[in-house]
Amino acid sequence: MNTTPFISVRDLSIGYGSRVVQQNLNFDISKNDIFFIIGGSGCGKTTLLKHMIGLIAPSKGQVLYEGVNYYQASEDTRLKLLQSWGITYQSGALFSSMTLAENVALPLQLYTDLSEKQIAETVSYKLSLVGLAGYETFYPSEISGGMHKRAGLARAIALDPQLLFFDEPSAGLDPISSLRLDQLIVQICKALGSTVIIVSHELPSILSIGTHCVILDAQAKTMLDSGDPKELLHHSQHEKVRQFLSRAGTAAAENQ
């Protein structure tokens, strides 16, 4: 039986040049987790995400994907890993000159041998998964902010990724739209069998859909704890963690 974690972060130090943002990071992510990277403002959540998706090499430590060190892997191995990942951004990052269908079709055109008919069918299916059936010919300027997020998600899942990264997916959304996006993330995770990693400051999401998390601290410049946020809420050895998640619990209750 293979007991290797899906993703392992080992003795990781991250930052920019000589400036250390976080150090001594150690945590695992299992398959099908909805894993949150959380903490106060300026603690390095997005910086950690950039290191995990290959944008910035760590100054120390490793990020292992099923035992493979991304930063020491061959170009072919890196490309295969990248093709098994989907990434969404705060704004959706859609190409404004392309329709929604053209945006979602782009990775299929670049990385598959599917015919035009097969691509069109896949695009329609992925847009329907995120609640945008019938919007194939719309341009990004013609849809709302929440629809931007969902269209960006449709493009991110075009290649049926094993791993989905989200950077502040609910940023700029009202509470109802944020709740619906949380529900959509859970549905997509189940439908595709994907593992999800989310950087977020939207605390109500942590206890409602998060299965595991790592909590970063800006002052200590390291992680305070990791685990199931529902368990950490009551049983973390760090009072700061319990206080942080108690505020999350209060906010979640107010939004119900």
CATH classification at residue 212: 3.40.50.300
Stretches where the chain sits below pLDDT 50 are: 1, 249, 251-256
Q: Name the DSSP letter for residue 55.
A: S
* Per-residue pLDDT at 256: 46
Instruction: With respect to residue 2, please indicate whether it lies within any of the assigned structural domains.
Output: no
What does the pLDDT look like over 161-212, one tens digit per residue?
999 999 988 877 788 888 888 998 898 888 889 999 999 877 888 899 999 9
Q: Strands 163-167 and 85-88, how do they pair?
A: parallel
* Residue whose pair of structure tokens reads 């719309």 in the numeric block: 138
Q: Is 219 exposed, middle or buried (0-12, 13-18, 19+ CB in 10 A)?
A: exposed
> Domain range holding 129?
31-46+84-255
**How is residue 188 written in tokens?**
């997509």
Instruction: With respect to residue 14, please indicate whether it lies within any of the assigned structural domains.
Output: no
Instruction: With respect to residue 4, please indicate whether it lies within any of the assigned structural domains.
Output: no
Instruction: With respect to residue 186, please indicate whether it lies within any of the assigned structural domains.
Output: yes
When divided into structural domains, the chain yields a total of 1
Q: How far apart are the first and last CA of the chain?
A: 41
Instruction: With respect to residue 230, please indicate whether it lies within any of the assigned structural domains.
Output: yes
pTM as predicted: 0.88
Instruction: With respect to residue 58, please indicate whether it lies within any of the assigned structural domains.
Output: no
* Per-residue pLDDT at 254: 46
